[in-house]
Amino acid sequence: MTNASSLERRLRADMTGDVLFDRFSRGRYATDASFYQIVPSGVVVPKTMDEALRALAIARDEGVKVTPRGGGTSQCGQTVNDGLVVDLSKHLNRILSLDVEGRTCVVEPGIVLDDLNRQLKKHGLWFPVDVSTASRATIGGMAGNNSCGGRSLRYGTMRDNTLSLEASLADGTLSRFGEVSRDLSDLDAGGSVRALFRDMLDLGSREADEIAARFPKVQRRVGGYNLDALIPRNARNNMAHLLVGSEGTLAFTTKVELKLWPVIRNKALGICHFGSFYEAMDAAQHLVKLKPIAVELVDRTMIALGRDIAMFKPIINAVIKGDPDAVLVVEFAEEDQADNLLRLKQLGELMGDLGFGWNNDPRKWGGVVEITEPALQSGIADFRAAGLNVMMSMKQEGKPVSFVEDCAVPLPHLADYTARLNEVFARHGTSGTMYAHASEGCLHVRPVLNLKLEKDVKAMRAIAEEAFALVREYKGSHSGEHGDGLVRSEFHETMFGERLVADFREVKHRFDPDCVLNPGKIVDAPRMDDRSLFRFKPDYRVADLKTKLDWSAYPGAGGGFQGAVEMCNNNGACRKLEGGVMCPSYRATRNEKDVTRGRANTLRLAISGQLGPDALSSDEMMETLKLCVSCKACRHECPTGVDMAKMKIEMLAARTASHGLTLRDRLVGYLPRYAGLASRFAPLANLRNRSPLLRKLFERFAGISARRALPAFRSDVFVAPADSVGPEAGREVVLFADTFNRIYERENLEAALRVLAAGGYRVHMPKPPSGNRPLCCGRTFLSAGLVDEARSELDRLVAAFAPFATRGMPIIGLEPSCLLTLRDELASLRKDDDAKAVGAHALTFEEFLVREAEAGRLQLPLGTVAEKALVHGHCHQKSFGAFKPVEQVLRLVPGLEVKTIESSCCGMAGAFGYGADTYDASIEMAELSLLPAVRRADQSTLVVADGTSCRHQIHDGAQREALHVARVLAMSLDSAETNSTPIAKEPSYG
Please tell me the distance from the alpha carbon of residue 928 to that of residue 953, in angstroms, as a whole number.
Answer: 13
Cα separation, 617 vs 605, in Å, equals 13
Per-residue pLDDT, averaged over 590-612, amounts to 97
Count the neighbouring beta carbons within 10 Å of the beta carbon of residue 203.
19
C-alpha torsion sign, points 404, 409, 415, 421: negative
pLDDT (mean) for 145-173: 94
- Compute the 3-state secondary structure of the chain and give helix, strand, coil in percent, each to the nearest 5: 45, 15, 40
Q: How confident is the model at residue 436 (pLDDT cuts 50, 70, 90)?
A: confident
H helices within 630-771, ranges in order?
A: 633-637, 644-659, 663-669, 671-680, 682-685, 687-690, 692-702, 739-743, 746-758
CA-to-CA separations, 315 to 324, 506, 640, in angstroms, rounded: 15, 50, 17
**pLDDT of residue 564 exceeding 90:** yes
Calpha distance 631→580 (Å, rounded): 11
Closest CA to 764 of 815, 794, 728: 728
What is the pLDDT at residue 990? 35
Q: CA-CA distance, 732 to 848, in Å (whole number)?
A: 12
Q: Are 647 and 891 in contact (CB under 8 A)?
A: no
- Phi and psi torsions of 267, nearest 5°: -145, 155
Mean pLDDT on 730-742 = 97
Q: Do 605 and 638 touch, CB atoms closer than 8 A?
A: no
Q: How large is the average pLDDT for residues 863-876?
A: 97
- Residues near 183 by beta carbon (within 8 Å), at least 6 away in sequence: none
Beta bridge partners of 237: 180
Name which of 495, 328, 288, 325 is nearest 412 in CA terms: 288
Q: How many CA atoms lie within 13 A of 461 on its CB side?
A: 12
Can you give the pLDDT at residue 234? 79
> What are the strands of the beta sheet with 174-177, ordered from one edge?
95-99, 104-107, 252-259, 162-168, 174-177
Q: How far is CA 708 from CA 696, 830, 961, in A?
A: 11, 36, 16
Q: Are 715 and 678 in contact (CB under 8 A)?
A: no
Residue 984 has pLDDT above 80, yes or no: no
Q: Where are the alpha helices (DSSP H) in 15-86?
A: 23-28, 49-62
**What are the start-end ranges of the H helices in 722-832?**
739-743, 746-758, 779-783, 787-805, 816-819, 825-829
As a whole number of angstroms, the distance between CA 43 and CA 25 comes to: 8
Q: What is the tens place of the pLDDT at every residue in 286-307? A: 999 999 999 999 989 889 888 8
- Four-residue CA torsion sign, 472, 474, 479, 482: negative
Rounded distance between C-alpha atoms, residue 459 and residue 447, angstroms: 10
pLDDT at 875 over 60: yes
Helices 948-958 + 919-928 axis angle, to 10: 90
Find the helix or strand (DSSP H, E) in which 87 lies.
strand 84-87
Instruction: Tell me the pLDDT tens digit for each residue of 508-531.
Output: 999 999 999 999 999 999 999 999
How many whole angstroms separate alpha carbon 792 and alpha carbon 756? Answer: 30
Note the pLDDT tens digit of each residue in 197-207.
999 999 999 99
Q: Quick: pLDDT tens for 9-40.
A: 999 999 999 999 999 999 999 999 999 999 99
Euclidean distance between the first and final Cα of the chain, in Å?
Answer: 55
pLDDT above 60 (res 981) = no
Res. 1: pLDDT tops 60? no
What distance in Å separates the CA atoms of residue 982 and residue 953, rounded to the nearest whole number?
25
Q: How far apart are CA 159 and CA 222, in angstroms?
A: 9
pLDDT at 219: 81
Measured CA to CA, the distance from residue 456 to residue 448 in angstroms comes to 9
3-state secondary structure of 712: coil
pLDDT of residue 155: 93
State pLDDT tens for residues 470-482: 999 999 999 998 9
Beta bridge partners of 538: none
Q: What is the pLDDT of residues 206-243, one digit of tens each?
A: 999 999 999 999 888 899 999 999 999 878 999 999 99
In the DSSP assignment, the letter for residue 595 is S
Contacts of 655 (CB under 8 A, 6+ apart): 616, 617, 621, 622, 785
H/E stretch holding 606 reads helix 596-607
Reported as a single tens digit per residue, the pLDDT across 766-795 is 999 877 899 999 999 999 999 999 999 999
Q: What is the pLDDT of residues 99-132, one digit of tens each?
A: 999 999 999 999 999 999 999 999 999 999 999 8
Q: Where are the alpha helices (DSSP H) in 856-980?
A: 875-879, 884-890, 919-928, 930-936, 948-958, 965-978
Whether pLDDT at 982 is above 60: no
pLDDT band at 451 (very low <50, low <70, confident <90, very high): very high
Select from 247, 53, 67 the least CA-distant residue to 168.
53
Q: Give the contacts of 98 (CB within 8 A, at least 6 positions apart).
A: 104, 105, 106, 120, 123
pLDDT at 985: 47
Mean pLDDT of the region 614-628: 97
Q: Which whole-number Å values give the CA distances from 321 to 315, 331, 379, in the listed order?
A: 12, 18, 16
Q: Are the CB atoms for 753 and 747 separated by under 8 Å? A: no
The answer to whether 430 and 481 are in contact (CB under 8 A) is: no
**HSE (side-chain half, CA atoms, 13 Å) at 881:** 9
Report the DSSP beta bridge partners of residue 19: 44
CB 105 within 8 A of CB 65: no
Question: What is the per-residue pLDDT for 384?
Answer: 77
CB atoms within 10 A of CB 664: 19
Percent share of the chain, pLDDT over 90: 89
- pTM given for the model: 0.93
One-letter amino acid at 971 equals M
> Do 407 and 445 contact (CB within 8 A), yes or no?
yes
Pairing of strands 731-736, 761-764: parallel
Strands 42-45 and 84-87: parallel
CB atoms within 10 A of CB 39: 15
The rounded distance, in Å, linking the Cα atoms of 984 and 969 is 11
Q: Cα(634)–Cα(615) distance, rounded to whole angstroms?
A: 23
Residue 743: Cβ within 10 Å count: 23
Band (pLDDT 50/70/90 cuts) for residue 846 is very high
pLDDT range class, residue 3, cuts 50, 70, 90: low
In this predicted structure, the answer to whether residue 570 has a pLDDT above a threshold of 50 is yes
3-class state of residue 166 by DSSP: strand
CA distances from 109 to 49, 68, 258, 481 (A): 10, 10, 11, 19
DSSP H helices in 148-190: 152-155
Instruction: Examine residue 777 and say whether the peptide bond preceding it is cis (omega within 30 degrees of 0).
Output: no
Dist. CA 477–CA 218, nearest whole Å: 7
* Dist. CA 909–CA 919, nearest whole Å: 11
Residues, the chain = 990
pLDDT tier, 388 (very low <50, low <70, confident <90, very high otherwise): low
